[in-house]
């Protein structure tokens, strides 16, 4: 448990409120966008809603975004305040050792760090592209088109998932080239000259 002074508690509170206000603004924009979309594009359905659902369409995005932003702001505050030196040393250490790698190894390393985001993004992009291609067919019903687009996107995503196996094998090779990171307690003792 970390003991903090009154000044630090006040700064933390102000930082959280600032982040919460930013989240409220984003949530308000999202909520109003949802209401405007429903009001003008789905007006029959929107008019059938009672006032509590209409209020929730604005309120829930505001509450959700404000909560998310304040929690994230709190974590970032403590990282910047108490872990900044450690994080900057770690980042410098990583950067020095990544500079020794070739360009293709750097690309594989970055892809491997974000492989799941790439897989989901590629699947969504392929789903959209396959929908655009299959939507031209005039003989299929809308449901059949949707199923065909999903099948094509899943086939493409399966290929991407299989390529992540290759990325994992390359990661093992890269880890052998990079020096083993010593635990934090070893680093501290080494910096103090005790080790």
- Burial code of 149-161, b = ≥16 C-beta within 10 A, e = fewer? beebbeebbeebe
Q: Are 176 and 100 part of one and the same domain?
A: yes
Q: Where is the domain boundary, 61, 82, 103?
A: 82
Number of Cβ within 10 Å of residue 37's Cβ equals 12
Q: Are 41 and 121 part of one and the same domain?
A: no
Residues spanned by the domain of 151: 95-183
Radius of gyration of the chain (CA): 25
Given this model, what pLDDT does residue 157 score?
79
Q: Is residue 195 part of a domain?
A: no
Q: Is residue 142 part of a domain?
A: yes
Q: Are 126 and 66 part of one and the same domain?
A: no
Per-residue pLDDT of the chain (195 residues; tens, 9 = 90+): 567 788 888 988 999 999 999 999 999 999 999 999 999 998 899 999 999 999 999 999 999 999 999 999 988 888 877 776 766 777 777 777 777 778 888 888 888 888 888 888 888 888 888 888 888 888 889 899 888 888 888 888 788 888 888 888 888 887 777 666 666 667 666 777 765
Those residues with Cβ within 8 angstroms of residue 167's Cβ, 6 or more apart along the chain or in another chain: 108, 111, 112, 115
Distance of CA 162 to the CA centre of its chain: 22
Given this model, what pLDDT does residue 185 score?
65
Q: What is the dihedral of CA 118, 123, 128, 130, to 10 degrees?
A: 130
Q: Are 128 and 175 part of one and the same domain?
A: yes
Number of Cβ within 10 Å of residue 62's Cβ equals 19
Q: Are 63 and 110 part of one and the same domain?
A: no
Q: Are 165 and 117 part of one and the same domain?
A: yes
Q: Is residue 137 part of a domain?
A: yes
Place of tokens 């003792």: 189
Structural domain count, the chain = 2
Q: Are 179 and 99 part of one and the same domain?
A: yes
Q: Are 100 and 176 part of one and the same domain?
A: yes
Q: Is residue 149 part of a domain?
A: yes
Q: Where is the domain boundary, 82, 107, 124?
A: 82
- Phi-psi map region of 140: left, alpha, beta (phi>0 left; psi -120 to 50 alpha): beta
Tokens matching residue 175: 């880890």
Q: Are 138 and 166 part of one and the same domain?
A: yes
Q: Are 147 and 177 part of one and the same domain?
A: yes
DSSP 3-state of 4: coil
Q: Are the C-beta atoms of 38 and 46 separated by less than 8 Å?
A: yes
Given this model, what pLDDT does residue 146 score?
86
Q: For 140, phi and psi rounded to 5 degrees?
A: -85, 150
Q: Are 105 and 159 part of one and the same domain?
A: yes
**What does the DSSP assignment read for 55-92?**
HHHHHHHHHHHHHHHHHHHHHHHHHHHHSHHHHHHHHH
Q: Where is the domain boundary, 23, 48, 82?
A: 82
């Amino acid at each position: 448990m970390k003991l903090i002074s009154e000044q630090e508690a006040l700064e933390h509170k102000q930082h959280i409120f600032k982040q919460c206000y930013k989240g409220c603004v984003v949530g308000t924009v999202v909520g109003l966008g949802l209401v405007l979309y429903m009001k003008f594009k789905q007006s029959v359905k929107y008019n059938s809603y009672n006032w509590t659902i209409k209020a929730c369409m604005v309120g829930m995005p505001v509450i959700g975004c404000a909560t998310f932003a304040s929690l994230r702001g709190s974590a970032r505050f403590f990282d910047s305040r108490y872990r900044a030196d450690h994080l900057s040393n770690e980042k410098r250490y990583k950067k020095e050792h990544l500079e020794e790698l070739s360009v293709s190894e750097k690309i594989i390393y970055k892809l491997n760090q974000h492989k799941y985001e790439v897989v989901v993004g590629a699947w969504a992009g392929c789903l959209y592209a396959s929908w655009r291609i299959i939507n031209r067919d005039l003989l299929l019903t809308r449901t059949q088109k949707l199923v065909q687009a999903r099948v094509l996107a899943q086939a493409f995503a399966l290929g991407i998932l299989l390529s992540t196996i290759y990325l994992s094998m390359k990661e093992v090779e890269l880890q052998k080239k990079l020096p083993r990171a010593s635990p934090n307690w070893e680093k501290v003792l080494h910096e103090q000259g005790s080790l």
